[in-house]
Amino acid sequence: MIRVLVADDEPMVRAGVRAILSTDPAIDVVAEAACGDEAVDLARTHRPHVAVLDIRMPARDGIEAAAEIRRTVPGTAVVMLTTFGADDYILRALSLGAMGFLVKSGEPEELIAGVRAVADGAAYLSPKVAARVVAHLAAGAGSLAGRRAAARGRVDTLTAREREVLAHLAAGLSNRRIGRRLQMAEGTVKAHVSSILTRLGVDNRAAAAVVAHEAALAPGHPSPRPPTHRPGPEHPSPRPPGHRPGPEHP
């Protein structure tokens, strides 16, 4: 069971988040907070697996609350709820170790997917948040094309296997799920992720996911491997009359 704390200063938003999360039998909302200070206190008391925090709250905003929760309750992963006008807040939260970012206007399924992802140790950026972050970074530091080129240059320093892992990481997969997809041991994936963070010069998975989105490596889903074509009944290979199977020429 994934234990969740929900914090938002608007009672209707809290009720909506609880209602959505309650549709998943694997998620249990154990506490609700109306401000950042209350969120920190309840996180210390209940020690939830995930804290879903509104990025803007009175007394202590979601970012300050996230930093304190990460410091005092390190086993609690943080998901930030944001609006389109909070780009600077998103970047601050990213630097403080928040693992998930969702917009309040997003689909209910994204909320459940985000909570499940961070509870499993993954980073989760909703497509809308990723697009906003990339656009905001571009506006503050050169053109979007320039940032994409710079990000691609950073990604090109990775090995082919590391790029594959990064694509799946940016799509919100945990080490365990990446291992299943790529048929690798979880420990091997963890080693790849550590190397990726070092090579990209970032501190956490969410920041690495932003680089991947900037490089257009993972716009929302893992990049599939090119399929290997094999003749099948729908497209049979032509056979000359009297042909008998034999060794193929390279």
Alpha carbons 244 and 230: distance in angstroms, whole number? 19
| Residue 26 one-letter amino acid | A
Alpha carbons 133 and 92: distance in angstroms, whole number? 11
pLDDT at 185: 95
Residue the block writes with tokens 């080490």: 175
pLDDT at 170: 85
Please say whether the beta carbons of 71 and 50 come within 8 A.
no
Alpha carbons 126 and 9: distance in angstroms, whole number? 22
Residue the block writes with tokens 């990213």: 94
Beta bridge mates, 52: 6, 79
pLDDT at 243: 47
Please say whether the beta carbons of 125 and 133 come within 8 A.
yes
Q: What is the mean pLDDT of each run of 10 residues along the chain (250 residues)?
A: 96 95 96 95 97 89 90 94 69 77 86 92 79 61 67 91 91 88 93 93 84 71 39 43 45
Please say whether the beta carbons of 7 and 54 come within 8 A.
yes
State the DSSP code for 201: T
pLDDT at 61: 86
Alpha carbons 163 and 74: distance in angstroms, whole number? 28
State the DSSP code for 249: P
Which residue, 81, 29, 35, is CA-closest to 50? 29
Beta bridge mates, 7: 33, 53
The string over 143-169, giving b where at least 16 C-beta atoms fall within 10 Å of a residue's C-beta and e elsewhere, is eeeebbeebeebbeebeeebbbbbbbb
Which stretch of DSSP H or E encloses residue 79?
Answer: strand 77-82
Please say whether the beta carbons of 7 and 32 come within 8 A.
yes
Cα three-residue angle 19-21-26, rounded to 5 degrees: 135
pLDDT at 221: 38
Q: Which residues contact 1 (CB under 8 A, 6 or more apart)?
A: 26, 27, 28
pLDDT at 8: 94
pLDDT at 232: 43
Alpha carbons within 13 A on the beta-carbon side of 80: 35
Which residue, 177, 174, 181, is CA-closest to 225? 181
